[in-house]
Chain A
Amino acid sequence: MRLKCEKIGRLLSDYIDGTLSERQNSSVALHLRSCGVCKREVVALKKTNHLLENFYVEPEASDAYYARFTTQLQHRIEQSAPTALHQRLFAVATRLGWHLLTQLHRGIDHSRLGGLFSIRQHVFPYYIFGLTLTMLVVAPLLLIQVSTHDDGSHVLSRLYAAAKIRFFSVDSPISVQPTAALAIKQDTTGTQPTGIRRNVNSGHPTEPPAIDSGSDVWVFTDEPMTEGYIFTTLQEDDSDTIPSVALDIDSELLAYAEIPAQGAFWARLTGRDVLTESRYALLLLQGMDEQHALQQYERKWNGSKGFSQKLLDVPLETLSISEVYDSREL
């Protein structure tokens, strides 16, 4: 009976909400007829709900506060609005472009082509921009087959937040080649492109990072690399396009590498600051003191190309030595 009560007990909250299936509802109702304990539990839950409905005080601010808030918000939006002539012209051109593109979409939608290209209006301009960018940037590169230095910008252009990882030797500022690959932790559950998810609880250096969800796997790159990227992507679902992963304060970026004569290392970068829209961080592995890290930062700053430009947005305080897990100690 007790086992049955435990099982039924988990359904009682849904029972009083009326959200159980017909079958479950009948089972609970049948059980309640013969069990005084569970019956009292239902009554207590209903009474609790009654108290919440009737006596909970919802917070409300004064009208003066709302008036002040509206003014402040307006001021902030005005401040962020373009002021210089060229900025205003750019803003007007952007609005005009957006308007023309939505009109173009309307035209296509009403024509016979509408059946062939079923694209939602609000994303249509992005398709056009994407197509134009592809024509201007990707196509010439493919045609000329120029192999340029991989600065990561091609990856970043599609990403919402990212961290670049480089592996350094303990006593040398030169990048080293891991014998094993860089590992990138990816989420494989969603239908959308992969992204880094929270899931590492281990904060103790003698324990391997624990994965608390079966939804994540470690994916090793095909070729060992001296550097790579870990990233979150824009995750869309049915309700909107807010990148919940990137907004998640618990998100953590992880990397794994095996470096000759030094062993294997876990590196972890935590905190929300590196997971915002415009910030990227350099994740440094073992062997770099703070001064050395800043030198690397300066070097990348002076490089000022692609990814390095993104690094300009990183406040110095976010550039710190990450926690390192040495597999030899595990």
Chain B
Amino acid sequence: MERTEALLIADLCEGDETALAPLVEKYKRMVYRLAMQITKNHADADDVMQETFIKVYRSIRTFRKDAAFETWLYRITVNEALNFVKRRERQRVSTLETASESEYEAVTRYRAQVANDPHAHAEKAELRHHVTKAVNSLSLKHRTVVILHEFEGLTHAEIAAILNCSEGTVRSRLHYARKKLRTLLKPYVDASNI
């Protein structure tokens, strides 16, 4: 019988290692997506994934059962990813802009998809490229808030709890991030007919 998430967490608390695998299976894509969006680097995203789930495994007993596991996981992932980015900035290692193409399975896969899809309209492919690039060009703080709000669908309060800042700060970052995106995407915004 399949164990519920609550039961898996309870089992993991009691040292049952087999309870981790189903949780990893359920959340691995979410953690990777978030880590990749923040770090913009597949190697770092991979490290963030490892550290995040290791932390879940080791710290599960500190997780409060009345809180949402997903929010807790978001918080660990975001913190790990932000730390990786800041550490990388110090070490001045490769970024999405400079690293070799082979490092980025996600980007490569996306490009391959676009190239192989006979129905993919060239304009739409270009638009996807520019919109994604615009989001990636935002500063770390702005990008993180945009990702959590626009793509993960979290509320201001949830983001504030994850980033350990006030809701006002979240609103402000979102406001400036949107203004920046609007400027970056101006030709496409002007041409849009919605």
Q: Which chain A residue has the least Cβ–Cβ distance from B131?
A: A55
From A140-148, A235-243, A259-267, the one touching the partner chain is A235-243
- Among B21, B64, B178, the residue within 8 A (CB) of A240 is B64
Which residues in chain B, 158-175, are within 8 Å of chain A measured between CB atoms?
161-162, 164, 171, 174-175
Range of interface residues on chain A? 35 or more
Give Cα A74 to B19, complex, Å: 12
A249 touches B192 (CB 8 A): no
Which residues on A sit within 8 Å (CB–CB) of B148?
none
Shortest C-beta distance, A233 to chain B (Å), equals: 14
Which residues on A sit within 8 Å (CB–CB) of B115?
none
B15 touches A57 (CB 8 A): no
Give Cα A61 to B50, complex, Å: 15
- Contact A69/B65 with A14-B171, A62-B105, A242-B76 known, Cβ cut-off 8 Å: no
- Contact A76/B132 with A59-B33, A247-B83 known, Cβ cut-off 8 Å: no
Give Cα A81 to B124, complex, Å: 50
A244 touches B164 (CB 8 A): yes
Q: How many A-B residue pairs have CB under 8 A?
A: 166
Which residues in chain B, 110-145, are within 8 Å of chain A measured between CB atoms?
110, 124, 127-128, 131-132, 135
Which residues on B sit within 8 Å (CB–CB) of A49?
150, 178
B178 touches A48 (CB 8 A): yes
> Which one of B17, B181, B192 has the highest number of Cβ atoms from chain A below 10 Å of its Cβ?
B192
- Among A14, A55, A95, the residue within 8 A (CB) of B14 is A95
Give Cα A53 to B132, complex, Å: 11
A66 touches B28 (CB 8 A): yes
Which residues on A sit within 8 Å (CB–CB) of B75?
239-240, 242
- Contact A249/B124 with A74-B21, A81-B17 known, Cβ cut-off 8 Å: no
A121 touches B189 (CB 8 A): no
Which residues on A sit within 8 Å (CB–CB) of B57?
77
- Contact A237/B185 with A52-B135, A272-B83 known, Cβ cut-off 8 Å: no
Shortest C-beta distance, B183 to chain A (Å), equals: 9
Shortest C-beta distance, B119 to chain A (Å), equals: 16
Q: Which chain B residue has the least Cβ–Cβ distance from A123?
A: B64
Which residues in chain B, 29-46, are within 8 Å of chain A measured between CB atoms?
29, 32-33, 36-37, 42, 45-46
Which residues on A sit within 8 Å (CB–CB) of B79?
242, 244, 247
Give Cα A100 to B186, complex, Å: 63
Residue A305 at the chain B interface, CB threshold 8 Å: no
A59 touches B64 (CB 8 A): no
Residue A45 at the chain B interface, CB threshold 8 Å: yes
Shortest C-beta distance, B168 to chain A (Å), equals: 11
Give Cα A59 to B49, complex, Å: 14
Shortest C-beta distance, A42 to chain B (Å), equals: 11
- Contact A51/B17 with A59-B32, A69-B46, A77-B57 known, Cβ cut-off 8 Å: no
Give Cα A254 to B23, complex, Å: 40
B185 touches A98 (CB 8 A): no
> Which one of A45, A49, A51 has the highest number of Cβ atoms from chain B below 10 Å of its Cβ?
A51
Shortest C-beta distance, B71 to chain A (Å), equals: 6
Q: A51-B131, A66-B29, A73-B24 are in contact. List 20 more A-B contacts (CB 8 A).
A: A13-B175, A46-B194, A51-B127, A52-B181, A55-B131, A59-B110, A60-B32, A60-B110, A61-B42, A70-B21, A70-B28, A77-B57, A122-B64, A239-B67, A240-B75, A241-B62, A241-B64, A247-B79, A249-B82, A250-B86
Can you list the 7 inter-chain pairs with the closest CB atoms, starting with the nearest? A59-B106, A59-B36, A13-B175, A55-B131, A95-B15, A241-B62, A244-B164
- 16 A-B residue pairings within 8 Å (CB atoms): A13-B174, A13-B175, A14-B175, A56-B151, A57-B132, A59-B37, A60-B33, A80-B54, A122-B61, A122-B64, A237-B164, A238-B67, A240-B64, A241-B62, A242-B76, A244-B79
